[in-house]
Amino acid sequence: MIGCPSTTDLFFGLSFVFMTPTRFVIAVGALLWTGVAHADGGVGERGTFAIGIDRLFGLAASTVTVHNNGNESSATTTELGLLMARPASLYMWPRLALDYAVIDGLTVGGAVAVVVGDSSTEQNNVGRDGPTRTGFLFAPRAGFAKGLTGSLGLWLRGGITWFRVEGDGFFRQGSVSASGHTTGLSLNLEPGLSIMATGNLGLTVTLIADIPLMGEQVAEINAGNSRLTSSTDERLRNLGVVVGALGRF
């Protein structure tokens, strides 16, 4: 499977966020100034906008299942993502999120992430460009939100996620090169809690279940004027618990 970039990772959404500690502090600080105080810890009051950075860190187990020519193989990875660490699973990419309460208790919205990465190697004092990767993820959703106490709210969300990750330059020798891409669609269940540290800034703690509906990996080898393409059925399941940043207004 085409994974996450191995060097520079950029996350874009409704605005540009470069995931370094300094930029992260700025982004969270900006949330402090969004919104007005609410009477409870929820985001379900009609007319409320909730903006945030989902899946900043957490614990998850991801399973990749590949079907090829009647054969099936799978591999499971468990990881603890810590803030700026590069996740092994694309479902653990931090993403920018926006949700809106259309009526009391009902929210609609989504999250988006873009990842761009490249790499380089050096051998015998000669530099060489390594593989480049780009990825896009879009996750529309709807939810039920209800305040429980002055700082705590229930937020049950569900939706779908579509993603595409492209890679180029995995192999280069003379006129031969290799590239490929992975696409997928999943059902997402996200029951969780909103915890407001102030009237307008807080955290989300969410259980996640990303259940694959479809997926495909395509590999392409170019050799001069010849091109060889192969595809396999590849599906990614992701289960875990994650924490995100939340602001409301």
What is the per-residue pLDDT for 149?
A: 86
What is the per-residue pLDDT for 186?
A: 98
Work out the burial of residue 118: count CB atoms within 10 Å of its CB; fewer than 13 is exposed, 13-18 middle, 19 or more buried: middle
Which 8-state DSSP code applies to residue 88?
S
What is the per-residue pLDDT for 142?
A: 98
Which 8-state DSSP code applies to residue 47?
T
pLDDT digits (tens, 9 = 90+) for 20-63: 545 554 554 554 444 344 445 679 999 999 999 999 999 999 99
Residue type for position 121:
T
Q: Does the pLDDT of residue 128 top 60, yes or no?
A: no
Q: Does the pLDDT of residue 223 top 60, yes or no?
A: yes
Q: Does the pLDDT of residue 10 top 90, yes or no?
A: no
Q: What is the pTM of this model?
A: 0.76
What is the per-residue pLDDT for 110?
A: 98
Give one DSSP letter per residue of 92-117, joined into a string. GS-EEEEEEEEETTEEEEEEEEEEEE
pLDDT digits (tens, 9 = 90+) for 195-221: 998 878 999 999 999 999 999 999 888
Q: Does the pLDDT of residue 12 top 60, yes or no?
A: no
Q: Does the pLDDT of residue 97 top 90, yes or no?
A: yes
Q: Where is pLDDT greater, at 242 or 41?
A: 242
Query: For residues 5 and 118, is the Cβ–Cβ distance under 8 A?
Result: yes
